[in-house]
Amino acid sequence: MKMKPHHQWQLQRLTALFLSIALPFLGVFLLALKRADYNQVVMAVRNPALAAFLGVTIAVSLYHMALELKEIIRDYLRDSAAKVALGLTYSAAVGLMILTLYSLIGIMCR
């Protein structure tokens, strides 16, 4: 499905806005866990609200990455090379999203 440039621009801006708000909170969370051991980190991530926040933040980050890389690839590559690069980019983003969600669910169900 081909996305109109206007819609892609809006999605890039929305994901950037979300990330500009979410990433400082993520940074504070990581700083709070600076001296925590493994069990303390696992217990913190077991909090459903925090796990959801982490999952959404990582998923939006990867989606934002894919949107930005799509622009870069389309600027520099043409035809079949662009299709291969876009396929690899989307596959990597989806694979990392699945791995992230699987890991978060695994930690919560432990």
pLDDT digits 0-9 by tens, 16-59: 999 999 999 999 999 999 999 999 999 999 999 999 999 999 99
Distance CA 105, CA 107 (A): 5
**DSSP designation for 110:** -
pLDDT for res 7: 85
Average pLDDT over residues 59-83: 90
Q: Are 91 and 65 contacting, i.e. CB atoms less than 8 angstroms apart?
A: no
pLDDT for res 2: 64
* 3 — pLDDT class (breaks 50, 70, 90): low
Over 90: is that where the pLDDT of 64 sits? yes
* 108 — pLDDT class (breaks 50, 70, 90): confident
* Prediction pTM value: 0.83
Q: What residues contact residue 56 under an 8 Å CB cut-off, 6+ apart?
A: 22
User: What is the pLDDT of the chain when averaged over all its residues?
Assistant: 90
